[in-house]
């Protein structure tokens, strides 16, 4: 599965969880199994956590640092990412 296919599958999983309470409960209880069942490739032993935003709880995900980027590129990427993440974070659920 390509990264684009994985992203699309995760979008579908989120939409399904919004519309199907039983699926949402299963996703929260055993996210790795649900992702695998829906065709998302996960590394062996990967721990997957699903956190649900609410009106009073917002989640900020700190991604893994892309070690292959040079410092100048990281600074530029951080500016763009922080703006996107901040906008999304401030809009809330």
Work out the pLDDT band at 13, boundaries 50, 70, 90.
Answer: very high
Name 66's Cβ contacts closer than 8 Å, sequence gap at least 6: 74, 77
Distance CA 42, CA 65 (A): 19
Convert the pLDDT of each residue in 49-64 to its tens digit: 999 998 999 998 888 7
Q: Alpha carbon of 8 to those of 5, 16, 31: distances in Å?
A: 5, 12, 16
Average pLDDT over residues 4-18: 91
- Domain map of the chain by residue range? 3-78
Distance CA 7, CA 40 (A): 9
Distance CA 48, CA 27 (A): 10
Closest CA to 59 of 68, 51, 49, 67: 51
Convert the pLDDT of each residue in 14-40 to its tens digit: 999 999 999 999 999 999 999 999 999
């Amino acid at each position: 599965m390509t990264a684009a296919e994985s992203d699309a599958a995760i979008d579908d999983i989120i939409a399904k969880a919004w519309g199907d309470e039983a699926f949402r409960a299963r996703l929260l209880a055993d996210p790795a199994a649900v992702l695998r069942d829906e065709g998302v490739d996960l590394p062996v032993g990967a721990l997957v956590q699903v956190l649900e935003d609410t009106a009073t709880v917002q989640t900020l995900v700190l991604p893994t640092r892309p070690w292959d980027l040079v410092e100048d590129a990281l600074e530029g990427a951080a500016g763009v990412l922080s703006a996107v993440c901040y906008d999304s974070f401030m809009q809330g659920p």
